[in-house]
Amino acid sequence: MPVDDDPTLGDSEAVVGENDLVRVRLSIRRRLPGRRLDKYLHGRFPQMSRTTIQRLIRQGSVTVNTQPTKPSYEMLSGDVIELTIPPPQPKDLIPEHIPLNIVYEDEYLIALNKDAGIICHPAHGAQTGTLANALVYYAGTLSSGSEPFRPGIVHRLDKNTTGVMLVAKTDEAHWRLSGQFERRTVQKTYVAVVEGRLDLDSDVIDAPIGVHPVVREKFAVQVRENTIDITKDAVTRYEVAERYRGYTLVRLHPKTGRTHQLRVHMSYIRHPIVGDTMYGGRPVSELDICGTGSDRPFLAHQALHAWKIAFRHPISGAPLEIEAPFHGPMRRLIDLLRSSRSK
């Protein structure tokens, strides 16, 4: 990928790494007063939209002097910018016959109960096997989406988080639903099994989240810095549903929608979600729960399920509450805890 190098501003190096990721290093020779980082990079890499560049900055794929920053950062003389540019997205989204668990559908929207192990849309070379591929095959019409190759997808769940997701069939339904998410009028209720017994029946976790300082694929609660604000407000309310020996079933109500928010917050209060190995949770087997049976994990991913979502229909305005039943492994975990580890 060629880099548009302006020698009056700085030097650049570009190296193609694994999976066709391009790693670029830019050295700023002179200060650029009032020039935002995102605008500068858009000028250097016009093949990428400014929205894409802002997303790369926020997810930590762009650093200044080895530190994550924000799109509005103004560069100084001597700054070293490093960024990782993903390969170009495919020109066409391939329809695939992947089964979908539809829990509600009308002419404007779809609500599905997402399985574990499937990502929402193509990214970083995973161009098939996504919900987007399945939706293009299933639905006659979908909204154009907020980004390319995300037709219909209004909000996302992590790869191994199960539960209810909303999909828009028309552009009007999409922007009206997106507006409800932005105004935080959508009420989401998750259910999770966490390690340890929570002492409080309910509480609010108010702790800002930013990119993990070492592992770029992770997020972490971070103390805000005075110079550069690289964190985002994150608020989660939890309620204890049931207590067991060594575990707790909780209902989680995110007030904000940060990436990995619920997983990070529960780990932060030292009650990681069962199976969430990225944030300190452990996979569970029958032997772990019951003391007998197989030692093979039956739940090797986070025990987190998007259970209910309440919102207003994007066209009629009528209130809707949609519930997604638990999947097999989650139901089995709760049944085993109730039978073997109740008070």
- Structural Rg of the chain based on CA atoms: 22
* Burial class (CB within 10 angstroms; exposed 0-12, middle 13-18, buried 19+) of 214: exposed
Q: Which amino acid type is present at position 140?
A: G
The 8-class DSSP code of residue 202 comes to E
Which residues does 233 contact at the CB level (< 8 Å), separation at least 6?
A: 206, 208, 256
Q: Which helix (H) or strand (E) holds 109?
A: strand 109-114
Beta bridge partners of 85: 22
SS3 14: strand
Distance of alpha carbon 290 from the chain centroid: 33
- Is residue 289 within 8 Å of residue 175, measured between CB atoms? no
The residues annotated with a catalytic role in the active site are: 158
Residue bearing tokens 């990928």 = 1
HSE-up of residue 12 (Cα within 13 Å, Cβ side): 18
- Is residue 5 within 8 Å of residue 40, measured between CB atoms? no
